[in-house]
Chains A and B, each alone.
Chain A
Amino acid sequence: MYDAMLAETVRIAGHGGDGIEAYLARPLGPGPYGGVVVIHHMPGYDAATKEITRTFGVHGYLAICPNLYSREAPGASPDDAAAAVRARGGVPDERLVGDVAGAARHLRGLTSSNGKVGVIGYCSGGRQAFLAACSLDLQAAVDCYGAFVVGHPPEGTPLKVRPIVDLTPNLSCPLLGLFGAEDKYPSPEHTAELERALRQHGKTFEFHSHEGAGHAFFAVDRPSYRPQAATEGWQRIWEWFGRYLAA
Chain B
Amino acid sequence: MCTYLTENVEVEGSGKGREGWFPLRCATVYLDHPQHASAEHSLNIDFLNPDRGPSARVAVELDPASARALARAILRTLDQAPAGLVTVST
User: Could you tell me which A residues sit within 8 Å of B by CB distance?
Assistant: 42-43, 72-73, 76-77, 79-84, 86-88, 123-124, 147-148, 153-154, 156-159, 161, 183-185, 214-216, 222-224
> B40 near A222 (CB under 8 angstroms)?
yes
Contact of B54 among A72, A158, A214, A223 (CB under 8 A): A72
| A50 → B minimal CB distance (Å) | 15
> A157 near B54 (CB under 8 angstroms)?
no
Q: How many residues of B contact A (CB 8 A)?
A: 25
A185 — which chain B residues lie within 8 A by C-beta? 1-4
Contact of A76 among B3, B33, B40, B53 (CB under 8 A): B53
- The 9 nearest A-B residue pairs measured at CB: A73-B54, A84-B54, A76-B54, A185-B1, A153-B4, A83-B46, A80-B54, A215-B1, A184-B1
Residue B32 at the chain A interface, CB threshold 8 Å: yes
| B47 → A minimal CB distance (Å) | 10
| A164 → B minimal CB distance (Å) | 14
**A154→B3 CA distance, assembly (Å):** 8
> B2 near A124 (CB under 8 angstroms)?
yes
User: Could you tell me which B residues sit within 8 Å of A by CB distance?
Assistant: 1-8, 26, 28, 30, 32-33, 35, 38-40, 46, 48, 50, 53-55, 57, 59
Nearest chain B residue, comparing its CB with the CB of A183: B1
**A214→B85 CA distance, assembly (Å):** 48
Q: With A43-B33, A223-B38 given, is the CB distance from A84 to B2 under 8 Å?
A: no
Could you name 14 residue pairs across A and B whose Cβ atoms are closer than 8 Å?
A73-B54, A83-B59, A84-B57, A86-B46, A87-B26, A157-B4, A157-B5, A158-B6, A158-B7, A161-B4, A185-B2, A215-B1, A222-B33, A223-B40
A76 — which chain B residues lie within 8 A by C-beta? 53-55
> B3 near A42 (CB under 8 angstroms)?
no
> B46 near A87 (CB under 8 angstroms)?
yes
Contact of B39 among A123, A148, A223 (CB under 8 A): A223
| A130 → B minimal CB distance (Å) | 15
Nearest chain B residue, comparing its CB with the CB of A81: B54
